Chain A
Amino acid sequence: MTPELNPEPSRATASDSVLRQPASWHRRYLFSTDHHVIGIQYLLLALVAVAIGTTLSLLMRLHLVWPDAVLPLHGPILPEDYLSLVTFHGTLMVFFVLTTAPQSGFGNLILPRQIGARHMAFPRLNAASFWISAVALATLLAATFAPSGGSISGWTAYPPLSAIASSGPGQALGMDLWLASIALFSVASTLSAINTIVTVLDCRCKGMSWERLPLTVWGWFTAALLSLIAFSVLLAALLLLFCDRHAGTSFFVPAGDLTNGVLHPAGNGSPLLWLHLFWFFGHPEVYIAILPGMGLTSMLLANFSRRRVYGYRVMILTTLLIGFLGILVWGHHMFVAGLNPFASTAFSISTMAIALPSTAKVLNWLALVWRSRPSYKTPLLFTLGFVSLFLTGGLTGPILAQPILDQYLHNTFFVIAHFHLIMAMAGVFGLFAATYYWFPILSGTRIRPGRLLSEPLGRLHFWGTLIGAYATFLPMHLTGLAGEPRHYAQLTAIPGQAGHLLAQTLPLQRHITYAAVFLALAQLPFFLNLLRSLRHGAIAPPNPWDATTLEWHPALQREPSAQASPSEETIVVYRAPCAYDSAPDQARFLPQWVSGTKAE
């Protein structure tokens, strides 16, 4: 039979239209509408942000221990420089790393695959979201070049510091650029959330019922719902703040406010209003950062322990419940801000209620791996690290949820320790687990096969990071309990009893700084691993982790080894994920896309 007598001409044209690639490289890589490319773009954006954010945190640590040190090319770190470091570290990490990488990066890269779709619902909107985020990052970084420096009011931008341009260096143009950057980011996140929600609602393949959705997808979906609600409110708050700064209103500036020698006589403004609006965004934001990691943890633990997730419906429910309760707890950030004591009690109760679904999740994870004798591959190690850090950081949650304890602890390093363990470190461990697990998908292109990251380097990276994370953040509980305040540029040379107390924490401070440097250096094996494995890593088999979820479906791979015209094959799902046979022969499992009951 000659090729001309192809019996299915429509097949060829169909696959042509799917595989058709735009000719120019900038359409293919820069302004691509392909979810795979956009996901990688988001991850690269987050990588830039995390590199800068980490450097800034190291500068903060160095300044706390050696306040007189002179920075090359900059000079000594002044108090306003320190506050600027705090602001940019927080803004970069919260917005451009912990929101961007799990939700937008891996959300784009993996989510469509896991529901058996080949596109997001609105590909062009997706590209627009990414580029708005990129412009937002550029705007934020541009703020550091403002004449009087970057803004100093923290990532939370509390007024009146943030509302009055003369309130400090960097609060004029620097603050305006900060506002513009975060407003752009809010718009991008809202658009991205709409895209994610509609994709999950409308683009699931045949057979992919709600209960068959992987828990990762539930995590992304819940986080997208939260993004939609939270970032809209943040945008409104930013608008009010902008009006306060430039239109002469006083939404947030109270009457009789004396800032830097300037009296503001009129206005009903209330700084507390900003706190309400901001934390109505800010707390769901925490869950936007961590929910995808929680979903990933469930799926990865099930995968490596070759067990079904116990109580799959309960796990879906706890994901949604954590998201829902996350909207109701914003007041626990405001216990010391002059909140009505009755409101504090209500927020305290709702905050402790969140411990219930969170505990259910942790117990579920522990039960999943308990005596399962898993193979300790790097993704599993990082997932277990996630559980460990989530537990350690989570245990201080109910302590801080008590208004009376929070009175003492709120402005100390105890809170820094709490949220760096539960949000920052757990979030980053989730990202590392995702990177090691999905690297074959990340690295596979149409002309190159997907590769695995090196295991020895991965183990080195894991142990270095785990030890570094605990060594850095656990002692902060102690310095916090000893009274070390946060947002203070300098802890030495303080007169009186306070200075005496703080001087006692100085040895621990030095230890924290060394540990932070160690933690940063522990990332070198990771970068080495990324660079090396991208070209020279072991070529990954089609389903390297014997997973059951659809991202490993042969028809969704973009590798040269996949079938000639794979993209056209209809994807159908036959069962819930995690159908691993409990028999000792661990090679037997049933992926979601395989029909019948015959194990592979």
Chain B
Amino acid sequence: MPATIHPIDSERRARHVDDLDHGDHGNGRRPPTDKRTGGGGDNDNWSDRPRGARGPGEKLKRYRLGVFFALAGDLMFFVAIVSAFFVSQASGRFDAYNNFVNQWLPTTIPPVLWLNTALLILSSVTAEIARRKMFHTFDAMEEWFGLGRPTSRRAMPWLAATVALGVAFLAGQWLAWYQLSLQHVFFRSNPSSHFFFLITGVHGVHLILGVAALITALAGLHYAKQVEDRQILVDCSVWYWHSMGLFWIFLFLLLAFFQ
């Protein structure tokens, strides 16, 4: 009698359904927590399986990669704007009397931005807690077994808190714009104010998209049928949110100290 039980080969082959959305994602076959082995014994490794049958982490990995490369492109978008910032800051012209004129008048940032930054960092903390709740091994196993939705239930409040903090940040940014407008500093006022409003505006649009993603994830916690899909929704939204927080810290430092 063999010491280990080998899975019947034909049965294993039957599982190799190379279809994008019909692979193993914990819908009664593989738990969504084990990321390392195929679980079939005998050095069974999910990496050796055909695509679509590489275990529960496969779809998550694919979506994560997608989000990371999208963020890499987005980073270049911000890098372009920031380099334009430095070029504009340094450029000027010679007037009729051969004086070098630089029209850049640094925009004093409204102090509320400090509070906003704190809110955004806090929202990243709550988002990360929500994300980790989704991958809590014990809860994910229970959810996979069909014993309620503990991960979703525990992540929900943290995700909602992130949305609230995100909306608060956006309201704070709007307040900063409003305060500047009271001082008659507008988008068109000065090369420096061009960049202040452009950077905060573009970042704000990204955060609106982020809030939309988080709300989608919240809805997904309720409506998505498979635990793996819920994990993907939360994970990808949160990684996007973290990146926007990180981008903001750099942009904020730029606006606060490098004008």
Q: Which residues in A have some Cβ–Cβ distance to B below 8 Å?
A: 8, 10-11, 14, 17-18, 117-119, 121-123, 125, 190, 193-195, 197-198, 201-203, 205-206, 228-229, 231-233, 235-237, 239-240, 243, 247-251, 254-256, 266-270, 273, 276-277, 280, 567-568, 570-571
Contact = CB atoms under 8 A, between A and B. Distances in A.
B142 interface: no
Contact of B92 (A123, A251, A268): A268
B80 A266 contact: no
Contact of B103 (A197, A239, A267): A267
A268 B80 contact: no
B194 interface: yes
B87 interface: yes
Interface residues of B, number: 45
A443 B248 CA distance: 50
B93 A228 contact: no
A118 B22 CA distance: 13
Nearest to B191: A268
24 contacts: A194-B69, A205-B51, A232-B75, A232-B77, A235-B77, A236-B76, A236-B77, A236-B80, A239-B198, A240-B81, A243-B194, A247-B188, A248-B187, A248-B188, A249-B198, A250-B191, A251-B194, A255-B93, A268-B88, A268-B103, A269-B88, A269-B191, A568-B17, A570-B13
Interface of B: 10, 13-14, 16-20, 22, 48-51, 61-62, 65-66, 69-70, 72-81, 84, 87-88, 91-93, 101-104, 187-188, 191, 194, 198, 202
The 8 closest A-B pairs by CB, nearest first: A248-B188, A236-B80, A232-B76, A10-B14, A268-B191, A232-B73, A233-B80, A232-B77
A267 B191 contact: yes
A239 B202 contact: yes
A258 to B, nearest CB: 14
A190 B81 contact: no
Nearest to A11: B14
Contact of B16 (A233, A250, A276, A570): A570
Contacts of A277: 80, 84
Nearest to B10: A8
Is chain B's binding surface mostly helix, strand, loop or mixed? helix
Contacts of A201: 65
Residue with the greatest number of chain B CB neighbours at <10 A, chosen from A118, A198, A235: A198
A198 to B, nearest CB: 5
Contacts of A249: 187-188, 194, 198
Is chain A's binding surface mostly helix, strand, loop or mixed? helix
Contacts of B91: 268, 270, 273
A198 B70 CA distance: 10
Contact of B198 (A14, A198, A243): A243
A17 B70 contact: no
Given A18-B18, A232-B77, A570-B50, A270 B65 contact: no
A255 B87 CA distance: 15
A237 B80 contact: yes
Given A17-B22, A229-B76, A240-B84, A268 B50 contact: no
Given A249-B187, A280-B80, A202 B87 contact: no
A118 B79 CA distance: 36
Contacts of B88: 251, 268-270, 273
